[in-house]
Amino acid sequence: MSAVVLGLAVYPINNVWKSVKYLVKSTNKNSPHSSIVLITAKLGHQDRELLVNNGVVVFELADLPPSNISRATQEGNELFLTWLKSMWVKRHDYYLEVLKSLNNSHVLLTDTRDVIITGDISKKIDVTNLVLSQEDNLRSLKSEPHNNKWLLDGYGSDLLNSIGNKRILCAGTVFGPRALILSYVEKMMAEINRLGFELANNIGDQPIHNFLAHMGHFPDFEVSTAERGWIKSVGILDKINNDWFNIKNMDSNENSTIVLHQYDRHLHSRFVRSSVKKSVGLNFWQKL
């Protein structure tokens, strides 16, 4: 049994290593038995060499089948920023293609630029459910402005009123047995196609992720909270403090942080900066 860290890394085009080095270095340092697989745009020689030398398996988009996610319009997608944004919807299709070639028992689907691995993921390969990360115990889908707008634009006021009091589940980090991850990705793709590419691309995958979870389409999932879970998506927390982050005692506490997402939104905290530096083993750099 083993775990794989799987993510999409397509920006910046000419320096992918810059955006993923903290994820890669922290995984190799703190979860050495976990493999790393990244889906990338076409790589330059230096980026490829750095990734391969750090144990990363690379799948370039050009080597994967074209996305099966339907597109309502082709107009404007030649523009780089439009293409880049579309990747966060289409990544689920590419995940599926790559997962077919992997035989790891467990998978962490993850954002890449703002995630570090602070503990050993192999300690969680006994997990039998899908694990979704909750962003904040205080804010709901309705009370947080961005999530409110995404759900309203994508699904309308009736759905927003129905699940609006639920807590926010982050689409950037999802963990579980390979079979459940495959099912998760297939359901995300099906819902994206049902909505249509143009609408899905406009709202992103977060409201789709929350719609499916809170409407019962992921029957076997557990929640890892930003405050107490082992996967922490901390972007909208007011502050990070040592009481719950507990990075120094990760080996003795089953709820200690193993995956830390959106740490870069708390760079004003000296504690966060020092903890990130310790976890990664590199001098700290400012966010991209």
pLDDT band at 249 (very low <50, low <70, confident <90, very high): very low
Res 171: pLDDT: 95
In this prediction, residue 77 carries a pLDDT of: 45
Q: What is the pLDDT of residue 73?
A: 43
Nearest to 174 by CA among 123, 233, 219, 120: 233
- Domains of the chain, residue spans: 3-280
Q: 81 pLDDT band (50/70/90 cuts)?
A: low
Which of 80 and 122 is assigned the larger pLDDT?
122
Q: How confident is the model at residue 72 (pLDDT cuts 50, 70, 90)?
A: very low
Q: What mean pLDDT do residues 213-227 have?
A: 92
Please answer whether residues 187 and 215 qualify as being in contact, where contact means their C-beta atoms are separated by less than 8 angstroms. Answer: no
CATH topology of domain 3-280: Spore Coat Polysaccharide Biosynthesis Protein SpsA; Chain A (3.90.550)
Q: Specify which of 120-134, 240-254, 267-281 reaches the highest per-range mean pLDDT.
A: 120-134
- Residues 77 and 135: beta-carbon distance below 8 Å: no
Q: Would you state the structure tokens that stand for residue 231, as one six-digit string?
A: 């996967």
Considering only 75-89, 224-238, 251-265, which range has the smallest mean pLDDT?
Answer: 75-89
